[in-house]
Chains A and B, each alone.
Chain A
């Protein structure tokens, strides 16, 4: 029983990573109907920025903020950097292409993804980078025979907090209402006086910032990062987005958690080598029987 619970915690931890990245995909898709392929690479870039801050600022961080405080500070710095990158990418690669329609934007997004991935490789080198072990909080917990790390608990709590904040912004603030309105119908929203550029600015700062925070958490959790990890996590997170119903933010989050748990249990009880096959198979089955995702709404066909 203890093992099952440990697997569940591991799955939820990975799932919260997928979920947080998925939120970025889902926001951009909801408003622009664009699959932002560069989002996974922004997450990887955030992880690398966090790595650099940790390596060069380790003494300062440790003496001023302690390990946990240091982690939060690094996450915030990475988030701010990536918010800027998000805006730059949007201005350079997406904004000039919106008027041309959706498919050119897909190619442009792939191009942006290649550019970011190669920038990471040029700056940090093609090899794995290890997060400095001295800066990673390493506390093990044994509760009723269950063995987890305090880091996992903190990651879960932080993800929950971040999601709640985002959910609150989207559902309860005027600005969130503007985003939801733009997602429903961009032209009508603009006629009602919603500044679409502000909405885009917001989703392209918040999404990458969340991705960067996730990147730092992934670095802390796995302790090593590589420049190609954006693709792997991006693909899984996008799967999570679809699983939960694209454009649906709580759906994306739950999709991520479900995916993480499925993956962990698949690896533990079916076969570690086939776990990703298992994940994609579930995805395909869900889409065959519920084509708009687990939490998606029924969309009527427009003629």
Chain B
């Protein structure tokens, strides 16, 4: 990491650390949701950005994490922080089970199957199987996360730091992953699946790994989100939510971690900043999405490796090579 880059990282860390102390509680909450979207964006970025698998049902994994937390906490009284790894594991296990039979599907077919999976999860939650999920109303009355003793995470600021520490840890992990053998295998599959297979990469294994890791991270986000809201309901996990996550990754730039942060900032801050426009803000939001793709089709901050821009599936010259 170069000195200038290091300086930027420290500057950003300082901004994030000071931010909650200088703004109102409301904007600390906005910062929290920015963090949730950042974590979800990072989790989808593994699947969509690194491996290029079209996953439009990611909210399903997020829902599994949130509901596992909510149900185990309210029914059995297990502390939220203990459930953090449990919900990650549950989401990962779910991803492993449902993705194993569909992992061979390509492009749009995988896309529609993940839409189906996300919808099945949401509809199942609404239908209240075994009287666990509380139907359309969801599950209420979760505890706040606590480390035992007097320290309980219950203010907006503490939740803000909880989510951003998770985001920071994930980013460190994901950067290490990007540079590793696994990361290179993922990118190779994204650029050319057949060539990757021919070079001895176990395509099926690495694709499943991406889904499992992505789902685990989404499960973590679900856990924190559920404990902040103290309740979960199916309407937080709609197809629309999956579409927003998809947009986070594409607006930022596929496979680019700074890009994900920018995309998450756009998705979570834009509706807040344009609140005065009331009913017109979603209209403007849609228009901005179109304009962004017109002027920065590769994302705001596309990923580069060795000075070469990544994501040749996005590049117009690709067709000429085929």
Contacts and interface: CB of A to CB of B under 8 A. Distances in A.
Contact of A103 (B124, B254, B287): B254
B115 A235 contact: yes
A295 to B, nearest CB: 14
Given A107-B293, A121-B279, A242 B318 contact: no
B108 A288 contact: no
Interface stretch (B15-23, B84-92, B173-181, B245-253): B245-253
A111 B287 CA distance: 6
Contacts of B106: 291
Contact of A276 (B111, B113, B119, B246): B119
A101 B318 contact: yes
A92 interface: yes
Contact of B314 (A37, A103, A238): A103
B120 A110 contact: no
Interface in B92-121: 101-102, 104-106, 108-109, 111-113, 115-117, 119-120
A189 B318 CA distance: 19
Contact of B117 (A114, A118, A284): A284
A287 B105 contact: yes
Interface string B273-292: 00000011011011111101
Interface residues of B, number: 51
Given A118-B279, A119-B283, A235-B119, A111 B113 contact: no
A302 interface: yes
Given A101-B313, A274-B123, A108 B108 contact: no
Interface of B: 101-102, 104-106, 108-109, 111-113, 115-117, 119-120, 123-124, 126-127, 194-195, 239-240, 243, 246-247, 250-251, 254, 279-280, 282-283, 285-290, 292-294, 297-298, 313-316, 318-319, 322
Interface of A: 29, 35, 37, 92-93, 96-97, 99-108, 110-115, 117-119, 121-122, 187, 231, 235, 238-239, 242, 246, 273-274, 276-277, 280-281, 283-284, 287-288, 291-292, 301-303
